[in-house]
Structure 1
Amino acid sequence: MAADWLGSLVSINCGTTLGVYQGEVSSVDQSSQTISLKQPFHNGVKCPVPEVTFSAMDIKELKILDIRNGQDGWSGRGGGQTNSVPIAVPLKGDPRTQERLISPQQQCSKSYGDPHLNVPGQPKGFRRRHNSWSSSSRGVNQVTPKKNGVKNGGGGGPMKQRDDECFGDGMEERLDTDFDFEGNLALFDKAAVFSQIDTSERRGNGTRSRGTPGEQTPSRYRHDENILEAKPIVYRQIDVPQPGAKEYCTDSGLVVPSVSYELHKRLLLVAERHGLSLERRLEMTGVCTSQMALTLLGGPNRLTPKNVHQRPTVALLCGPHVQGAQGISCGRHLANHEVEVILFLPNFVKMLDSVTSELTLFSKTEGKQVSSIKDLPDSPVDLIINCLDCHDNTFLMDQPWYRAAADWANQNRAPVLSIDPPVSGQGQAVEAKWSLSLGLPLPLAEGAGRVYLCDIGVPRQVFQEVGIKYHSPFGCKFVIPLHSA
């Protein structure tokens, strides 16, 4: 009978997936075809749960190691032998002895019942689930008691019974022994491990203990250093045939020499001959200058849909030359970005075609154009963009409109941004806080303020054609700050 095997020591082979279990038989249920082992061992290691229940479909082979309760058999403990009697657990409804090997349905810490198991008192189609380790210590026919002593199904209906089956495990059961964290940590000898690492690093006069023999130990790098650096950085990557009076450097340390106005003019002429027309340069300059101006005005902190009542105001002071056309292009882009632009340009009898074209585009925006200083605002504006000066015509500084515009800019307490200012020898009537040079910087005076460099799209071969060894210092940007070297 099934009760006669209680207390016997058995070995259950559940295949390669679940492994082999040994333990003392605590219960055998022929109706549900299950067998339970208490104090089980899994592959030679004691299980953390007190009892494990197996289904007949999970068992591949069952061996009896020691027979208790007086059964016919011989216990070979004293003689060093074991009496292994392979038996097969019959499946329900099949009188013949069979052994089946299917996918595992039960683990050591969590077991799930089989839908074929017929547990008395369990609704049809309901799949019993053991939700914690404490469930495995109960028999298949046991139910979880409630705290008030009433068993499941009493007065709660089928839904209450199912809830108790899933979530009714008591908390009174605990593991027999707690994990010894301090004892486990004491097994790790930190000093010995680090000493071994240091010894291996020093072995072989600084060579690695791993990898190719003779390979040098790499230097220690900070988190912001490039560990893939293969050769030293060359900071002077731009050489000009006629160096200017000043040298600048970028934030990364690259040297950017200044050039004379004659070399800069020849560079633009060669670029125009190769297809970089004046209209392209004006558009590129206008985009980069407007982007820099938007950043100076506050960027996303100032230009937001919630701040429409505080739109920034920019005053553009332009002359009838290429520098003035660059300022008008910048004003058009600023007006497109919801900036209040006031363009000052006197009424001249004759202006360049580029100035006329930019004025036509600017008139399509919401920007305001004035020709008299009296129409400029009396209160300080957010930014003044100075495009009054010209490289080729220095006589404009003697004109009344020029002096009046320069006096207004100096008296207004707004910061000034100069676009493509002239070189030091020509002087500047308006003192700027920032100056933007194009392509390569000119040797600017101290009144130019902080110098920025704008990429206007001149190809590298155009620089080489005029005798300039050029490597772009811009990186991922189109406008970069320059510092005096």
Structure 2
Amino acid sequence: MASDWLGSVVSINCGLTLGVYQGEVSSVNHASQTISLKQPYHNGTKCPVSEVTFSSMDIKELKFLDIQNTVNKPSSGQGAARGPSLTTAGQRGQSNRTTRPPVTSSSTHSDIPPITILNRASTGSSKNRGVTQSTPKKNSARNGSTSGLVRLKDDECFGGGTDEDMETDFDFEGNLALFNKAAFFSQINGTGGHGSRSQPPSTQVNQHSPSYRHDENVLEGKPVIYRQITVPQHGGKEYCTDSGLVVPSVTYEFHQHLLATAERWGLTLERRLEMIGVCSSQMALTLLGGPNRLTPKNVHQRPTVVLLCGPHLQGAQGISCGRHLANHGVEVILFLPNFVKSQEAVTSEVNLYSRTSGQQVASIKELPASPVDLVINCLDCHEKPMLKEKSWYQSAAEWANQNRAPVLSIDPPVGEQLQSVEAKWTLSLGLPLPLAETDSRVYLCDIGIPKLVFQEVGIRYLSPFGCKFVIPLHRA
């Protein structure tokens, strides 16, 4: 009778899709060919429902794990108790039998070794693990398969222990509250604090040690003296470098005295002109774009520079600059009036410039009408302020102001008078002169005057140039 198997613990394999179920038989229905299990386990995990019903169509394999209500009922001509007449899909067409091992009439319920369902989440010990290995191995051997034993071991190792632990969420805030952040950082900084553990003397951090940036020297040195240049005749204005060094201005007369002393020691006018030409051309090349503009692959976009020079020493400095620019592949156009008598230095520089690829014009009409890349202004002269009244000077200044190109002025004259050509950059030589207050950015050029020459004229001098020959100056 089917009622004889109620309460038996069975294992039902429903294939890969539905998995393996274990539980106690609660009912068997012959008409609908179904079997129900109460308190079922699915793949070793307790099901959330109290009862599950299976159809014989879904059952691939059925095993009896524990028989609770077996009664010795010998039937006529048979020595074994018959199981329920429920047939599975794999047993249809065969004799009506169950996968339970046959029980003889001489055996009793106590003779059958108990096999219980394992649930590692519900028990904290492994006392029952050794008991569960004998009967499944015997049954699987009789059935000619060991898949049941492997599946049971998998359920034992990986099946249970997740249903109860997942009911309580992990308390992140409570766990974070256990970490005393203030005490931890005070321990790192060596300042102590409430709740911090004391460090060994060898690992304590020196809280008085200063902090350094990546570009600072960790070695202690002498304090920086920012006023490293003092002059006997102050020009009335002071400038400072990017690093904060103070550079005072000098009067034009004292500047001429300094140049005359340097020339007596061998720094001749030709050497100064060459030095000024190199430094000013290097500054102009940087203003034109440097390596981003002057490359072999960019020969079709060579920059154009116009030099406005007068027939004086400042004009010779501009011509020297134009010669070096032309040597570096820049399109140079030199404006110099040829109807005015020029100095010897100007004639010498023009002869050298004529051997380059640069152009030379004497009329403003020959200058480009479209904007150029840079205009270098060397029209003004310290000794000849009356040149501003000349027609060629006024025409050149008007062209420069209307061309809308940035202007670099080399060694402009001093005084509070307004410049005829509005310059964006101004380049001073050696030491700055007290230039007029304009929006022009002031730069200082190293023309190679030795330190002892500065000392001879009474200047305490320490070079502010560092690794450069042209540095920017800021009005203090």
TM over 0.5: yes
Residue number in structure 1 paired with 2:266:
275
Q: CA deviation at 1:446?
A: 2.7
Q: CA deviation at 1:226?
A: 2.2
1:95-114 superposed matches below 5 A: none
| Separation of aligned partners in 2, 1:452 and 1:418 | 10
**Contact residue 305 and residue 330 of structure 2 kept, 8 A:** yes
Give the counterpart letter for 1:477 in structure 2. K
Q: SS in structure 1 opposite 2:300?
A: helix
1:178-257 superposed matches below 5 A: 198-199=189-190, 217-257=208-248
Q: SS in structure 1 opposite 2:236?
A: strand
Q: CA deviation at 1:351?
A: 1.7
Residue number in structure 2 paired with 1:430:
421
Residue number in structure 1 paired with 2:302:
311
Give the counterpart letter for 1:241 in structure 2. P
Question: Is the counterpart of residue 473 in structure 1 residue 461 in structure 2?
Answer: no
Distance of aligned partners of 1:221 and 1:209 in 2 relative to their CA distance in 1, 3 Å threshold: farther
Residue number in structure 2 paired with 1:329:
320
| Separation of aligned partners in 1, 2:395 and 2:289 | 29
Q: CA deviation at 1:428?
A: 1.7
**Contact residue 249 and residue 433 of structure 2 kept, 8 A:** yes
Residue number in structure 1 paired with 2:357:
366
| Separation of aligned partners in 1, 2:367 and 2:201 | 76
Q: SS in structure 2 opposite 1:227?
A: coil
Distance of aligned partners of 1:482 and 1:199 in 2 relative to their CA distance in 1, 3 Å threshold: closer
Give the counterpart letter for 2:445 in structure 1. C
1:32-43 superposed matches below 5 A: none
Distance of aligned partners of 1:241 and 1:448 in 2 relative to their CA distance in 1, 3 Å threshold: farther
| Separation of aligned partners in 2, 1:201 and 1:456 | 59
* Residues 264-301 of structure 1: per-residue CA shift (max 9 Å, x gap): 11100000001000000000000000000011111111
Residue number in structure 1 paired with 2:430:
439
| Separation of aligned partners in 2, 1:469 and 1:424 | 25
Give the counterpart letter for 2:296 in structure 1. P
Give the counterpart letter for 2:284 in structure 1. A
**Contact residue 418 and residue 448 of structure 1 kept, 8 A:** no
Q: CA deviation at 1:386?
A: 0.1
Q: SS in structure 1 opposite 2:243?
A: coil
Give the counterpart letter for 1:310 in structure 2. Q
**Contact residue 417 and residue 436 of structure 2 kept, 8 A:** no
**Contact residue 249 and residue 482 of structure 1 kept, 8 A:** yes
Which sits farther off after the overlay, 228-237 or 423-432? 423-432
Q: CA deviation at 1:228?
A: 1.9
| Separation of aligned partners in 2, 1:412 and 1:312 | 15
Residue number in structure 2 paired with 1:355:
346
**Contact residue 191 and residue 207 of structure 2 kept, 8 A:** no
C-alpha RMSD of the superposition: 2.4
Question: Which structure would you say has the larger Rg?
Answer: 2
Distance of aligned partners of 1:369 and 1:198 in 2 relative to their CA distance in 1, 3 Å threshold: closer
Which sits farther off after the overlay, 301-310 or 424-433? 424-433
| Separation of aligned partners in 1, 2:217 and 2:283 | 29
Q: TM-score, normalised by structure 1?
A: 0.56
Distance of aligned partners of 1:340 and 1:219 in 2 relative to their CA distance in 1, 3 Å threshold: same
| Separation of aligned partners in 2, 1:349 and 1:432 | 25
Q: SS in structure 2 opposite 1:381?
A: coil
**Contact residue 391 and residue 422 of structure 1 kept, 8 A:** yes
Residue number in structure 2 paired with 1:111:
none
Q: How many residues align?
A: 289
Distance of aligned partners of 1:209 and 1:246 in 2 relative to their CA distance in 1, 3 Å threshold: farther
Q: SS in structure 1 opposite 2:394?
A: helix
Residue number in structure 2 paired with 1:449:
440
Unaligned stretches of 5+ residues in structure 2: 1-180, 194-199
Q: SS in structure 2 opposite 1:482?
A: strand
| Separation of aligned partners in 1, 2:183 and 2:425 | 61
* Residues 236-264 of structure 1: per-residue CA shift (max 9 Å, x gap): 11111121121111101111111110111
Residue number in structure 2 paired with 1:76:
none
Question: Is the counterpart of residue 385 in structure 1 residue 376 in structure 2?
Answer: yes
**Contact residue 286 and residue 327 of structure 1 kept, 8 A:** yes
**Contact residue 394 and residue 426 of structure 1 kept, 8 A:** no
**Contact residue 435 and residue 448 of structure 1 kept, 8 A:** no
Give the counterpart letter for 2:261 in structure 1. V
Question: Is the counterpart of residue 296 in structure 1 residue 293 in structure 2?
Answer: no
Distance of aligned partners of 1:353 and 1:330 in 2 relative to their CA distance in 1, 3 Å threshold: same
| Separation of aligned partners in 2, 1:398 and 1:191 | 77
Q: SS in structure 1 opposite 2:416?
A: helix
For residue 334 of structure 2, the aligned residue among 333, 336, 343 is: 343
* Residues 400-439 of structure 1: per-residue CA shift (max 9 Å, x gap): 1111111111111100000000112354211100000000
| Separation of aligned partners in 1, 2:391 and 2:325 | 28
* Residues 346-393 of structure 1: per-residue CA shift (max 9 Å, x gap): 014532111111101100000000001111111111000000000111
Q: CA deviation at 1:219?
A: 1.3
Give the counterpart letter for 2:218 in structure 1. I
| Separation of aligned partners in 2, 1:307 and 1:200 | 61
* Residues 108-135 of structure 1: per-residue CA shift (max 9 Å, x gap): xxxxxxxxxxxxxxxxxxxxxxxxxxxx
| Separation of aligned partners in 1, 2:212 and 2:390 | 60
**Contact residue 439 and residue 458 of structure 1 kept, 8 A:** yes
Give the counterpart letter for 1:377 in structure 2. P
Q: CA deviation at 1:227?
A: 1.8
Identical pairs, percent: 74
Q: SS in structure 2 opposite 1:425?
A: coil
| Separation of aligned partners in 1, 2:207 and 2:233 | 44
Question: Is the counterpart of residue 405 in structure 1 residue 396 in structure 2?
Answer: yes
Q: SS in structure 2 opposite 1:446?
A: coil
Residue number in structure 2 paired with 1:146:
none
Q: CA deviation at 1:468?
A: 1.0
Q: CA deviation at 1:302?
A: 0.8
**Contact residue 248 and residue 484 of structure 1 kept, 8 A:** yes
Give the counterpart letter for 1:287 in structure 2. V
Q: SS in structure 2 opposite 1:407?
A: helix
| Separation of aligned partners in 1, 2:339 and 2:185 | 82
Q: CA deviation at 1:441?
A: 0.5
| Separation of aligned partners in 1, 2:398 and 2:452 | 43
**Contact residue 200 and residue 209 of structure 1 kept, 8 A:** no
Distance of aligned partners of 1:193 and 1:292 in 2 relative to their CA distance in 1, 3 Å threshold: same
* Residues 127-152 of structure 1: per-residue CA shift (max 9 Å, x gap): xxxxxxxxxxxxxxxxxxxxxxxxxx
Q: CA deviation at 1:223?
A: 1.9
